[in-house]
Amino acid sequence: MLFCGFFLISDSIVPYLSSISAYLLATVAIWQLSHLMTRKICKHLRLVPPANKAVFITGCDTGFGHLLALRLNKMRFFVIASVLDTESDGAKALKASASNSSLLRIIKVDVTKDDDFIAAKTFVDEALTKHHFQLYAVVNNAGVNITYPSEWYPNATAEDYRGNLDVNFLSIVRTCRTFLPLLRQSKGRIVNVISYASRIGFEGLSHYCASKHAAAGFTDALVNELDQFGIRVVSIEPTLYLTPMVGGNRMCREMKQQFDALSPEVHEAYGDESLEMTSRLIRILTSPPCASNELDDVIDTLVEAIRSAEPPPIIVVAPFGIRQYFWFCCEFLPRDLLYSLKSCAKRILQFANKSKN
């Protein structure tokens, strides 16, 4: 749709379409080939053995954290899985499904509370000493997602951003500050689960994007700061995988609740059309083929980041078509051109909707 808007505006581009198409296809092919070669080479480098190594993971109640804890436990890493509630169904399922129960510890950590990290540090120190393990990796996986424009928040103040920032960004800071002394000893690694939303501002995701941009900037800085200690820092960017956090029906339901609670002035300014268009887009993006149920793609990548002797600093994980689209639009196109194309596409959609009516 973006490209349609561009072509409608400029007829003069038609004679050059074949050359442009060939150039774009060649660019995508070269990038994809280099991407695959890099991943293949990394996978065949020396792998770090799990013996005597512990991994601390946040957000293991459900989703990626839950699955990663089980995978690493099966591989015989000593896994310290943090959950929000040790009596939750997710925590109980984690304990019941562990292949090696003696190599799994489940601990309550609210990633927004400094006191919980102080307690977690004591817990980890005691566990490592008792079982003669070293903390080799920390995986910052905990995250939250809210989907509606910033003005739709109840109070529409800067405080509304605190929840997202606390979980998606400041929790990473807390985890790293807590466990860096142990990681320096082991020359281990930090793996931060971020998102492609750290690269571009998606409409209706201002809170989420702000927190992920902050997390990405912090991670980039850590890559350079901690290299002197032999600590590897990896950013994993999973996009459009169907975890409990990414549910189209839930997101649309919450968005409608916020929309219905708006003041008359804001409600009128946005209009029902805005709600309908955004809801339709969310349902498309959170359903196959855009979104994927193949969560093992992400778990495989997380394991690679933990076990590879030389992991790349950034790994994007997304369904194939979505990955190419995001790469082309967000990495290849200048940002001002991207905004122009988006504006054209929006006008075309609005015109199409009016024509139907």
Q: Rounded to a whole number, what is the largest CA-CA distance in the chain?
A: 73
Taking only the tens place, the pLDDT of each residue in 67-88 is: 999 999 999 999 999 999 999 9
Active site residue 208: yes
- The model's confidence at residue 112, banded by pLDDT at 50, 70 and 90, is very high
Taking only the tens place, the pLDDT of each residue in 32-52 is: 566 566 655 555 567 899 999
pTM of the model: 0.81
Assess whether pLDDT exceeds 80 at residue 333: no
Number of structural domains, the chain? 1
Q: Which residue has the higher pLDDT, 149 or 271?
A: 271
Q: Is residue 279 part of a domain?
A: no
Q: Is residue 256 part of a domain?
A: no
Q: Is residue 127 part of a domain?
A: yes
Q: Is residue 258 part of a domain?
A: no
CATH number of the domain within which 111 lies: 3.40.50.720
- Name all contacts of 27-35 with Cβ < 8 Å and 24+ positions apart: 27/332, 28/324, 28/327, 28/328, 31/327, 32/324
Angle at 232 between CA 228 and CA 238, to 5 degrees: 150
Q: Is residue 13 part of a domain?
A: no
Which amino acid would we find at residue 183? L
Q: Is residue 64 part of a domain?
A: yes
Task: Choose, from 136, 153, 196, 208, the residue flagged as catalytic.
Answer: 208
The domain of 319 spans 47-246+292-346
Q: Is residue 220 part of a domain?
A: yes
Separation between Cα atoms, residue 138 and residue 10, nearest integer Å:
51
- The model's confidence at residue 224, banded by pLDDT at 50, 70 and 90, is very high
Assess whether pLDDT exceeds 70 at residue 357: no
Q: Is residue 12 part of a domain?
A: no
